[in-house]
Amino acid sequence: MPRRGLFVDSVVKSGGNDFHGSVVLYGSGSGLEANNIGSTLAAAGIRLPRLHKVQDFAGTLGGRIIRNKLWFFAGARYQNVTRDMLDAFDPDGTPIANVKEGTYHFEKISYQLSPAHRFTGFYHVNNDIELRNASRFIPRESMLDKDNPVWIAKGEWQTVRGSSLVASAQLGQWDFNGDYRGISPGRQSTRDIATQFVTGNHFIQGANANGRRADQGRRHTKGALTWFRPGLLGGNHEFKVGVDHLFSWWDDGYRTPQPGASYQLLFNNGVPFQIDTTNAPVTGQNRGRYLGVYAQDSWTFARRLTLDVGLRIEREEAYAPAQCREAGPFAAARCWDEIRLVTFNSLAPRAHAAFDRTGDGRTVLKGGYGRFNQLRELNPDLTNINQNVFSITTWDWHDRNGNRQYDPGEVNLDPNGPDFRSITGTALGVVNPSEKQPKTDEFSLTFEREVVSNTAVRVTGVYARNFNAYALAQTSRDGEYTIPITNLDPGPDGRLGTADDTGRSFTYFEYPAALGGAAFAGTMFVNDSSQNTNYRTFEVAVMKRPAQGWQLGASYTSTWADVPISCGTSGSGLGSGTPVVWATSRCLRNPNVAFNTADRTREWQTKLSGAYNLPYGILVSGNYDIRSGAPQARQVVFTGGRTIRSIALNVEPRGSFYLPTTHELDVRAAKRVSLGPARSLEVRFDVYNALNTSTIRAWNLQSGANYLRPSLIMFPRILQIGATLAF
């Protein structure tokens, strides 16, 4: 595999000579849900986000088209979950609901040309539909309506030669499309950087902008050949060679925004402050090509020692073809020549071993080393350099007539003029000809022992070091953040002169006004060793395989992070007060980005799962998950600068406090009844969050009236009832 981490290889059922299928019905409603709003949350004004409905309907059918030659398997599914959003209400107190719908269907064809040759075709489509993004700070009129249709298709050929040779070739494609719309055309979008309140038509939140039409995809061609050779060089060998070729694209389009969403007015405690404008309509075209060739040998000696050694040779290129942009309300028409990033040519050696220490298959020691080269992410590796991408520009706004509306002439829209403050979404980047490919070295060691029959204990350690890390350097401003701006910490209430003031002052740095224009805002990806990261993970697990009518699994995992600088919407150092359009791991390099953003914390997780067969064929099972809360830091929006007029900074180190530890217990009871040959009915009762906890999952970290107000809690205990008819 070219990437490290978890990979899921799914094998979809194939039809046979007989017809088989299933019908699945699943659902729940408000009458099957508990109330987990305790006195503390109730005192804060938090009300239960009522569940309206859960619907999940699915069916499959498979069988023959031509007996012993051609088979099909197909299915479809519909889901709907409608629930009120936490702390989101209309002015009259009416709750605002989040509506999620999903539609799915797939088809698979299998053709056995001969005993040695098999062909497979597969097609899958799903559409994720949602009305979302209301909160205490975002009213109904500013919600987002989106569709995300995604399709996957493949064609595959498999062949077997004799008893030792297997080969396959496959062509597949994945294509994601997104359509994002506001629901209140004509209502002017506004945001207050101090109170965080938003009004008007949806403008942008995260990567979801009004009018966005995303097209992201990947075409994958692969082939593999496996050859088993026993008795060679003192052992058995399983040789494998293969090739991967990927063509990927990221065509991020933004239509002309709806009325009220072509710009957003920014206020500071109700006072006109700045304005955000976009360059829509725009559709940036970005392309990538990857070629990987690998060879691997799994070499087993006397059934006691297995060595897995392999080498992957990789070549990767990314480019933005020549393209143009139409004129928009705040952007002129423009064309660009082709841009090409540095081509990466790299090696990825890997070696692992497994040793049966006692020779009876009960004690195994295994581990090894792997090199993983970071593959290109077209967003942001290329989108930060391709100028034909969606961007938001922040300007100073002078509401001279006091009507609290933008009028032509109130902003100098010259990107090199005095009102330009910052730009996000694009980094005005240029290609770095000396760029090095980021890499990861991963070392692992596992000891596993069967202590009694069907029960084993496993202890694992993993160390990963990431180097050649990227940073986003400003080519003209790098080293020029020399002007200190000092503010007092207003304390958690966000107001100076009150009892919770800490008395501490904080200083951020801005650049000279002479470097304020867009001409000086250009950036370049550089390799910065100060942003290299390391992770250490330790896990101990106990597994009791299914036997005597029961099974059990338990584990404890702990990970220590060493991240010198972390960035995103908090402490980004961008200095505009504008949320980052999309979070990346490429931090802007300036003194502000390192302001209390280091992550040297520990996270841990304990899991317990099991199943037991009761009398009368009733199966009960459960999963209990205990997880540490995420590290937190209080934030303050500071103002007062000239080139960085507002900035959100952590006023405490990351990890000064944590979200609460979560305890989540899910249980199931199921009974299957035979209805005759090859037919059965299973009824299931699932209880999620059986402990009915209301643990806070996210809260507001910005000092002010809503500091530490929950924005996400665990859903209450809910019973869902389902049935599956198999035939």
- Other CB atoms within 10 Å distance of the CB of residue 58: 16
Output the pLDDT for position 585: 53
Distance between CA 132 and CA 545 in Å, rounded? 42
How many CA atoms within 13 Å lie on the side-chain side of 719? 7
Considering only CA atoms, which of 497, 499, 503, 490 is closest in space to residue 634?
490
Q: What is the DSSP letter of 42?
A: H
322 in helix, strand or coil? coil
Distance between CA 570 and CA 380 in Å, rounded? 18
In the chain, the largest separation of any two C-alpha atoms, in whole Å, equals 89
Q: Are 703 and 493 in contact (CB under 8 A)?
A: yes
Q: Are 419 and 411 in contact (CB under 8 A)?
A: yes
Considering only CA atoms, which of 175, 372, 353 is closest in space to residue 292?
372
Q: What is the DSSP letter of 328?
A: B
How many CA atoms within 13 Å lie on the side-chain side of 116? 8
Q: Which helix or strand (DSSP H or E) is residue 447 part of?
A: strand 439-452
At residue 31, φ and ψ (nearest 5 deg) are -70, -10
Q: CA dist 363 to 366, 447, 449, Å?
A: 10, 8, 4
Q: Percent helix, strand and coil across the chain, each rounded to 5?
A: 5, 60, 35
Distance between CA 342 and CA 345 in Å, rounded? 10
Distance between CA 459 and CA 464 in Å, rounded? 17
- Other CB atoms within 10 Å distance of the CB of residue 675: 12
How many CA atoms within 13 Å lie on the side-chain side of 470? 23
One-letter amino acid for residue 264 of the chain: Q
| Beta-bridge partners for 346 | 314
Q: Which residue has the tokens 């799994």?
A: 298
Considering only CA atoms, which of 578, 573, 577 is closest in space to residue 594?
573
Distance between CA 154 and CA 168 in Å, rounded? 13
- Other CB atoms within 10 Å distance of the CB of residue 367: 17
Distance between CA 386 and CA 370 in Å, rounded? 33
- Other CB atoms within 10 Å distance of the CB of residue 271: 10
Considering only CA atoms, which of 230, 379, 312, 435 is closest in space to residue 4?
312
529 in helix, strand or coil? helix
How many CA atoms within 13 Å lie on the side-chain side of 305? 5
Distance between CA 523 and CA 588 in Å, rounded? 9
Considering only CA atoms, which of 499, 500, 469 is closest in space to residue 651?
500
Q: Are 284 and 402 in contact (CB under 8 A)?
A: no
| Beta-bridge partners for 55 | 27, 80
531 in helix, strand or coil? helix
Distance between CA 56 and CA 684 in Å, rounded? 13
**CB within 8 Å of 566: residues ≥ 6 apart:** 587, 597, 598, 599, 654
CA 689 to mean position of chain CA atoms:
24
**CB within 8 Å of 669: residues ≥ 6 apart:** 618, 619, 620, 684, 685
| pLDDT profile of the chain (727 residues), mean per 10 | 84 94 97 95 91 97 97 98 96 96 98 97 97 95 96 97 95 96 96 95 87 94 96 92 97 90 96 95 96 97 93 97 94 95 97 94 96 92 90 95 96 94 82 95 97 96 96 91 97 96 96 91 91 96 95 98 76 31 60 93 98 96 98 95 93 96 98 94 98 96 95 96 97
Q: Are 206 and 579 in contact (CB under 8 A)?
A: yes
Distance between CA 250 and CA 255 in Å, rounded? 16
Q: Which residue has the tokens 């080139």?
A: 643
